[in-house]
Structure 1
Amino acid sequence: MGVSADSPVVMEEKLRRYPPFVRFWLASTVSDFGTYITSVALSVLILVTMSGTALDQGLVNAARWAPYLLFGLVAGVWIDRLPRRTVLIGGDLGRGLILTGVALASAAGLLTLPALAMLIFAFGTLALTSDAAHQSFLPQLVPRPLLTKANARLQQSDTVAQTTGGAVAGGLVALVTAPFALLLDALSYFLSAAVLLTLKRPSQAPVPSTQRLHRKVAEGLRWVYRHPYLTPLACSTHIWFIGSSILGTVLPAVILNDLGMGAVGLGLVMGCAGIGAVVGTTVSTRVGHRWGTGRTMVTARVAQPVAIALVALGPVIAGGTGAGESYGSPLQWTAEMWAAFALIGAGQLLFGAAMGVEGPLEMGFRQAVTPDRLIARMSATMRSVNRGMIVIGAPLGGLIATMAGAGTALWVSVAFLLLASMVLLGSKFRSVRTEEQQLTDEEALARD
């Protein structure tokens, strides 16, 4: 029996024929590992070291994503005018320096919550430019038929980093404290920049445009919100980000403050999500090819509120055990805490698996149906509104947790995730298949 030209084995061999993509993949992987260390370290820094609240956590999270709301639409146009490799290198170096500053200021006892929020805002601004360049740089490294596979490889690296990075970060933070753990993430950004420096500049240079800024922004908005399939996908994803940001704000407070599981517990919970995501990304392209992109993504989104409902039941099972105390080692956990961890871990495992399945399919679909000249603006439009939802959801989650309790905030997260899945289920996106919508390189060039 012969091997199809589109089989996973042949597709993987094709990806390996593009050394620039392999190095780009390496740079992303190095940075991803540091990112998950920072996710744990920042939560511990705010909630434990600085004695902050869930609302403080939400406000810092909002500062991290506010640049996407403020500058996101302009960023896509700006990236169109600059060498994307240069933007990626500058973003990595800048973020490494900011994290170094946060770590040193905290270690010296000079860091305050307002100062941290401002530094994280600057970090988010650089992340915005890097994200825009990252998504529009990939189509310059591999041909369009390989975009879904390339995105799957990038997301698999991210999920492997989440699996090991979260668990390692918990122990690392407990061992050397949060500020010094942040230095490791700074180092990862410097290493990522060094790898990107080995890439040759793409032969495709940015094409100067005389079109006015507001018209280019409007063109990106029209492409997303008038496209028959991108529009329902965008609306569903915007709602999803509100629910996800509430979860991201409240869950660390539940683990660290309400249950007292410490940094190790937070790392293990994140590790459960990472394990699920590894499984999800591994089967994503195969399931998507068999079921179709739309059907697969709808199923994944319906599974997510179910997963977070399990997470919300965790504190109920524990009955407040551990509140006000910190158990640094799982060996000190009570039976109720272990039961809570089992539910939360199972929920995170399912949530990560569902995200892992849908992530490569969504990114591959968005890139495949969009002409190259619009990819940066399409990405910036989706990203700026999505992250704008975090600016709303993160403080909202912290506020609900502070006023009504973390359990209530988790159930609100479930409600938003359920609404997001229903929006996608009720649209014609549910029947879409990427291979039937995909632009060839020649068609994309003609549309450009």
Structure 2
Amino acid sequence: MRDFRFLLAGAAAGQAGAQVTLVALPLVAVLELKAPAFQVGLLTAAETAAFLLIGLPAGAWVDRMRKLTLMIRADVVRSLAMASVPLAAVADVLTMAQLYVVALVVGVATVFFDVAHQSYLPQLLPREHLVAGNGALETVRSSAQVAGPGLGGGLVQLVGAHLAIVADAIGYAVSALFLLAIRRPEPKPEPVPGASLRKDVAEGLRFVLGHPLLRVIAGTTALGNFFTAMLMATQTIFLVRVLDLPPAAIGAMLSASAVGGLAGALCAGRLAGRFGQARIIWLSALATGPFALLWPLSGKGPAAALFAVASGVVFFGAVVYNVAQVSFRQTLCPPRLLGRMNATLRFMMWGTLPLGALVGGAVADASGARTALWICATGFLAVPLPLLLSPLRRMRDLPETAHPETEDDDRQDATPGHDESVPVA
């Protein structure tokens, strides 16, 4: 448990800095570089484009590396990339082109970090503690999201958007230091004779696409992420240029979604126990999605609170959904496939993020940010439909074993020196 606490501490430091940047980076574009809505959407797309560009091979690469070492290196890269923004701004040479490059580099490092992080957790915790462990990580992440945007908005108002980004560079550096303190030895994965990148990627795809529950979870999450990206690409434009809010108020507004997320993380385990892990996946999306309609209905003055309420409720449901489905994925997958499974799902789920950001920025540029939010909110109503049309709707709990065909493949692919029966621990 000592090593898991360091993993939690690293997650807290990295997330705290990242949440400051959630407010500060778009404000650098909007307030300091006077970027139009489409360029802000393009910046959001650049942050997530890596999941679409390298998401699939990243999993195969991660399965061949030590996860902890990879996470440390990714944190160092992210820290240096973010530090370049305030340095360029102070030298008066900062441009949107640099912001795009920084966002893309940080995104690539984040792909490797996230895939390795989700694949490393089962090495620290036994299978029966994965839901609690994922819940703790979501609690830490949501806690950082509560404080981070408010801190970011305050820093932007106090020292300027570009200097506020220093907090993100520091956060990633501190995260790397916490990860360095983990002592659990991690052997380097043994090479499999005859393996190739193409075969490894194909194996991950077969595992995910061959399981009906993973397919529907992937499709549902991809749909939700598309409309979430539309929100992320347009909310800063909407809050600054439509609701006329100052940076500190914007930070407080974005913290509302984190308050909902924190509540979801704290309640996820109990809700899954009461309603069932399968049932809570579709129920969380169905019950909270309609509140997204409050985003475009919000206005200036007291009516701005509608935006905060919508964010809090929608992200409560999103975190409950995530804790349940991520824990299921980690339980289901054989240890040797964790990296490829997570990367394949990230490719499918997160690959829609840059597309949604581009659509959101384009719609906001052409028809206004409120129109983009109406499309986004309507989309959230459709998110639970794949779940309701799947076998999940008739299940209370999720199965704990892999698809029979996948298990057969695992036994056939087993090679000397690589024990496929090693439990997740």
Partner of 1:350: 313
Unaligned runs of 5+ in 1: 1-17, 319-336
Q: CA deviation at 1:200?
A: 2.0
- Counterpart-to-counterpart distance in 2, 1:95 and 1:264: 25
Q: CA deviation at 1:209?
A: 2.1
Partner of 1:395: 358
Unaligned runs of 5+ in 2: 403-410, 412-418
Q: CA deviation at 1:436?
A: 3.8
- C-alpha spacing 1:115/1:427, structure 2 compared with 1 (3 Å): same
- C-alpha spacing 1:237/1:437, structure 2 compared with 1 (3 Å): same
- 1:80–1:207 CA contact under 8 A, matched in 2: no
Q: CA deviation at 1:219?
A: 1.1
Residue by residue, what CA displacement relative to the aligned partner does 1:144-184 show, whole Å, maximum 9, x if unpaired?
Answer: 11111100000001101111111121111110111111111
Q: RMSD of aligned C-alpha atoms?
A: 1.7
Partner of 2:2: 19
- Counterpart-to-counterpart distance in 1, 2:110 and 2:397: 28
Q: CA deviation at 1:31?
A: 0.7
- 2:284–2:318 CA contact under 8 A, matched in 1: yes
The equivalent position to 1:112 in structure 2, one of 64, 80, 95, is 95
1:181 counterpart = 2:156? no
Residue by residue, what CA displacement relative to the aligned partner does 1:64-118 show, whole Å, maximum 9, x if unpaired?
Answer: 1111111111011101111111101001111000000011112222111122101
The equivalent position to 2:388 in structure 1, one of 404, 421, 425, is 425
- Counterpart-to-counterpart distance in 2, 1:340 and 1:108: 40
- 1:368–1:434 CA contact under 8 A, matched in 2: no
**1:205 aligned counterpart, secondary structure:** coil
Partner of 1:10: none
- Counterpart-to-counterpart distance in 1, 2:343 and 2:375: 28
1:66 counterpart = 2:41? no
TM-score by length of 2: 0.92
Q: CA deviation at 1:205?
A: 3.0
- 1:140–1:204 CA contact under 8 A, matched in 2: no
- Counterpart-to-counterpart distance in 2, 1:196 and 1:233: 30
Q: CA deviation at 1:207?
A: 2.1
**1:229 aligned counterpart, secondary structure:** helix
- 1:250–1:406 CA contact under 8 A, matched in 2: yes
Partner of 1:130: 113
The amino acid that maps onto 2:290 is V
- Counterpart-to-counterpart distance in 2, 1:215 and 1:275: 43
- 1:244–1:413 CA contact under 8 A, matched in 2: yes
- Counterpart-to-counterpart distance in 1, 2:236 and 2:387: 29
**1:418 aligned counterpart, secondary structure:** helix
Structure 1 runs of 4+ with >6 Å offset: none
Partner of 1:37: 20
Residue by residue, what CA displacement relative to the aligned partner does 1:247-275 show, whole Å, maximum 9, x if unpaired?
Answer: 11111110011111021121111111111
1:80 counterpart = 2:63? yes
Q: CA deviation at 1:437?
A: 2.2
The equivalent position to 1:286 in structure 2, one of 239, 259, 270, is 270
The amino acid that maps onto 2:231 is L
Partner of 1:306: 290
- Counterpart-to-counterpart distance in 1, 2:88 and 2:181: 32
Residue by residue, what CA displacement relative to the aligned partner does 1:301-323 show, whole Å, maximum 9, x if unpaired?
Answer: 12343121011110xxx3xxxxx
The equivalent position to 2:244 in structure 1, one of 260, 271, 275, is 260
Partner of 2:415: none
Partner of 1:225: 209
- Counterpart-to-counterpart distance in 1, 2:160 and 2:31: 10
The amino acid that maps onto 1:354 is G
Partner of 2:341: 378
- C-alpha spacing 1:438/1:171, structure 2 compared with 1 (3 Å): farther
1:446 counterpart = 2:409? no
- Counterpart-to-counterpart distance in 2, 1:213 and 1:434: 35
Q: CA deviation at 1:61?
A: 1.1
Partner of 1:196: 179
Aligned residues: 407
- Counterpart-to-counterpart distance in 1, 2:182 and 2:309: 41
The equivalent position to 1:164 in structure 2, one of 147, 151, 156, is 147
Residue by residue, what CA displacement relative to the aligned partner does 1:265-304 show, whole Å, maximum 9, x if unpaired?
Answer: 2111111111111111111011111111222121211234
- 1:281–1:359 CA contact under 8 A, matched in 2: no
- 1:303–1:350 CA contact under 8 A, matched in 2: no
1:234 counterpart = 2:218? yes
The amino acid that maps onto 1:430 is R
- 2:66–2:186 CA contact under 8 A, matched in 1: no
**1:411 aligned counterpart, secondary structure:** helix
The amino acid that maps onto 1:295 is R
Q: CA deviation at 1:435?
A: 5.8
